Amino acid sequence: MKLLFIGDVVGDAGVAFVKEKLWRIKKEHGIDITVINGENSAQNNGITSDSFAELIRVGADCITTGNHCFRHRGIEGLYASEPFLLRPANYPEGVAGKGSAVIDLGRTRVAVVNLLGTMYLESLDNPFGEIDRLLEELDTPNIFVDFHAEATSEKKAMGFYLAGRVTAVLGTHTHVQTADETVLEGGTAYITDVGMTGPERSVLGVETSVVIEKFRYHRPVQFRVSKSPCFLNGVIVTFDERNGRASAVERLIVR
């Protein structure tokens, strides 16, 4: 089977680009399941019920998020009611929503887990301990982990920690696709960062002049999504659904 994972979709432009390209990617590559990180899919960062609904409508099976998951006021209710909208699993108990979902395809079940790194990000519960707990509960060998983290070292460590225990560890959050995709020992697909989907000539999706001003003068600035043409960053993981082992991981950039 093949799972397509699309990196952080940025703003209306990113969502529209997914809408334009996804059906063709699915057809060309024979994709069975699509997972999208939607933590920046709203126009001003975060996710809204509209951007979530649109990503599902255009063909996603499950939406993961990250450090911007609760940016919009009142969004907790959406996490509580949508089983295929995830927030990082290592948020404290009592926080709305959940950090894993199982997609039932009839002949097989595929689990998606969302975790947040704790280095240079929020000091949530330890993601390594959290995934150990989750792996005891999940009753399918097909497990895809979106590890939303800043530090490459934390992501690499998670990849090796889960090698042979999950189907894939896919890093997100930096919005820059890394070229280290590999299948680790035991059949675990790994990449440090899948990248982003949205305006390409931008700083992580944001208008370049705004970010330059911030770095040059340290002034508070209002981030605006760049108007440059979009690209899509993703990976396709090929795996055997009978044992959950990945055989290939391929990077994808669509312009």
Q: Of residues 100-129, which lie at the interface with Fe ion (CB under 5 A)?
A: none
- The binding track of 185-224 with respect to Fe ion, each residue x by CB under 5 A or -, is ----------------------------------------
Single out the segment in contact with Fe ion by CB under 5 A; choices: 58-66, 132-140, 158-166, 245-253. Answer: 58-66
In angstroms, what is the minimal distance from the CB of 215 to Fe ion?
Answer: 19
Amino acid at 83: P
Residue with Cβ nearer Fe ion (39 or 241): 39
Q: Kindly state the helix (H) or strand (E) to which residue 22 belongs, with its residue range.
A: helix 11-29
Burial of residue 77 (number of CB atoms within 10 Å: 0-12, 13-18, 19+)? exposed
Single out the segment in contact with Fe ion by CB under 5 A; choices: 3-11, 41-49, 57-65, 208-216. Answer: 3-11
Q: Kindly state the helix (H) or strand (E) to which residue 228 belongs, with its residue range.
A: none
Site residue total, Fe ion (CB under 5 A): 6
Query: Is 68 among the catalytic positions?
Result: yes
Residue with Cβ nearer Fe ion (67 or 197): 67
Alpha helices in 113-249 (DSSP H): 127-137, 152-162, 208-217
Strand ranges inside the chain, DSSP E:
2-6, 33-37, 62-64, 100-104, 109-116, 142-148, 168-172, 182-184, 188-191, 198-199, 230-240, 245-254
Residue with Cβ nearer Fe ion (11 or 244): 11
Q: Return d(Cα 67, Cα 87) in angstroms, integer.
A: 9
Single out the segment in contact with Fe ion by CB under 5 A; choices: 66-74, 82-90, 138-146, 240-248. Answer: 66-74
Q: Of residues 161-180, which lie at the interface with Fe ion (CB under 5 A)?
A: 173
Residue with Cβ nearer Fe ion (155 or 173): 173
Q: Return d(Cα 137, Cα 120) in angstroms, integer.
A: 29
Q: Of residues 13-42, which lie at the interface with Fe ion (CB under 5 A)?
A: 39-40
Active-site residue identified among 29, 68, 72, 175: 68
Given a contact cutoff of 8 angstroms between Cβ atoms, the answer to whether 97 and 85 are in contact is yes
Given a contact cutoff of 8 angstroms between Cβ atoms, the answer to whether 65 and 83 are in contact is no
In angstroms, what is the minimal distance from the CB of 196 to Fe ion?
Answer: 7
Given a contact cutoff of 8 angstroms between Cβ atoms, the answer to whether 172 and 155 are in contact is no
Give yes or no for residue 8 binding Fe ion (CB under 5 A). Answer: yes
Residue with Cβ nearer Fe ion (110 or 158): 158
Burial of residue 180 (number of CB atoms within 10 Å: 0-12, 13-18, 19+)? middle
Q: Which of 11, 14, 66, 88 binds Fe ion (CB under 5 A)?
A: 66
Catalytic residues: 68
Binding site for Fe ion (CB under 5 A): 8, 39-40, 66-67, 173
